[in-house]
Amino acid sequence: MIAPGRLEGVLRKGDFAVTAECGPPRGADPETIRRKGELLKGSVDAVNVTDNQTAVVRMSSMAGCLILEEMGFDVVLQMTVRDRNRIALQSDILGAAALGIRNVLCLTGDHQSFGDHPGARNVHDIDSIQLIDTVRTMRDEGRFISGDEIKGRPELFIGCAANPFADPFDIRALRLAKKVRAGAQFVQTQCVFNVEKFSRWMDMVRDLGLHEKVFILAGITPMKSPGMARYMKNSVPGMDVPDSLVERITSVPKERYREEGVEICLETIERVRAVRGVCGIHIMAIEWEDIVPEIVKRAGLRPG
């Protein structure tokens, strides 16, 4: 048995966890990842490396993870089922474990029509719930999807995503329950802007007893400008940005946009922390990684 990674350790201890997202570059320069890593050092328990997010080609999540791991980070390998079939996914799960990656986040992935290669074929051989089940079966039962035996099981902490703001709302907690049953041990949610709706989702989550079965990290995204707020509200599928927040960031003078965005973010963190069952936050500072240490510090979340 391998000792748990930092993220798993923090969560099991009952401490409030902080993870942050790192988007790999659209190029082969490892320094870009290292620079982002330097910014996050000492502020987070683990770093998620995205897997061609929004279906735009970037350096692979696996390579990004390895670079950050060499810097001492506990990393979360994001894996979507959009681009790889069950053969490639299982192969990468073995590879990730062999490279010492301790966490995997199982995702569906944005549709390729949103990305830079809309003419690409998608795969979707298995879905995200089946991927969770696959990782669990590989780890706990030492078997591939085919049933064949694995020599050297991948020791991985299994994560999933949840979007409390997508429809139909009333099945969103039931869907998380399916993911937990499939083997998810932690969940990182879609960016929370509408705390009231998030709390209602958490009520349903607690009613199902899921908060005792899965570590829940609330997704947090600082907004840089009214333009970003409007973009998130209108153009990102499954995102719920209340009008009041858009108005709030629009109402301040231009030079205060960022500070207002950070303040909204800090208030959101404080409010989601107060929701019973929330074990941590996952900061997705999209192309704004340098703000993460400030957010973590001002929120009083510097991990021990």
Compute the least distance from the CB of residue 174 to another protein, in Å: 6
Compute the least distance from the CB of residue 179 to another protein, in Å: 9
Contacting positions for another protein (CB under 8 A): 82, 86, 108-111, 113, 122, 124-130, 133-134, 145, 161-163, 166-168, 171, 174-175, 177-178, 181-182, 190, 237-238
Is 91 or 113 the residue whose CB approaches another protein more closely? 113
Q: Where are the beta strands (DSSP E) in 114-249?
A: 157-162, 186-191, 215-220
Compute the least distance from the CB of residue 128 to another protein, in Å: 8
Compute the least distance from the CB of residue 304 to another protein, in Å: 32
Q: Where are the beta strands (DSSP E) in the chain?
A: 17-22, 46-49, 75-80, 103-107, 157-162, 186-191, 215-220, 278-283
Determine the distance from the C-alpha atom of residue 96 to the mean position of all C-alpha atoms in its chain, rounded to a whole number: 17
Is 129 or 262 the residue whose CB approaches another protein more closely? 129
Describe the chain by its helix, strand, coil percentages, rounded to 5.
45, 15, 40
Q: Could you tell me the maximum CA-CA distance found in the chain, to the nearest angstrom?
A: 62
Is 98 or 171 the residue whose CB approaches another protein more closely? 171
Compute the least distance from the CB of residue 186 to another protein, in Å: 17
Is 237 or 253 the residue whose CB approaches another protein more closely? 237
Is 72 or 237 the residue whose CB approaches another protein more closely? 237
Is 103 or 188 the residue whose CB approaches another protein more closely? 188
3-state secondary structure of 242: coil
Q: Give the pairing of strands 46-49 and 17-22.
A: parallel
Nearest Cα to 272, choosing from 281, 263, 264? 281
Q: Any bridge partners for residue 188, and if so which?
A: 161, 217
Compute the least distance from the CB of residue 3 to another protein, in Å: 31
Determine the distance from the C-alpha atom of residue 126 to the mean position of all C-alpha atoms in its chain, rounded to a whole number: 20
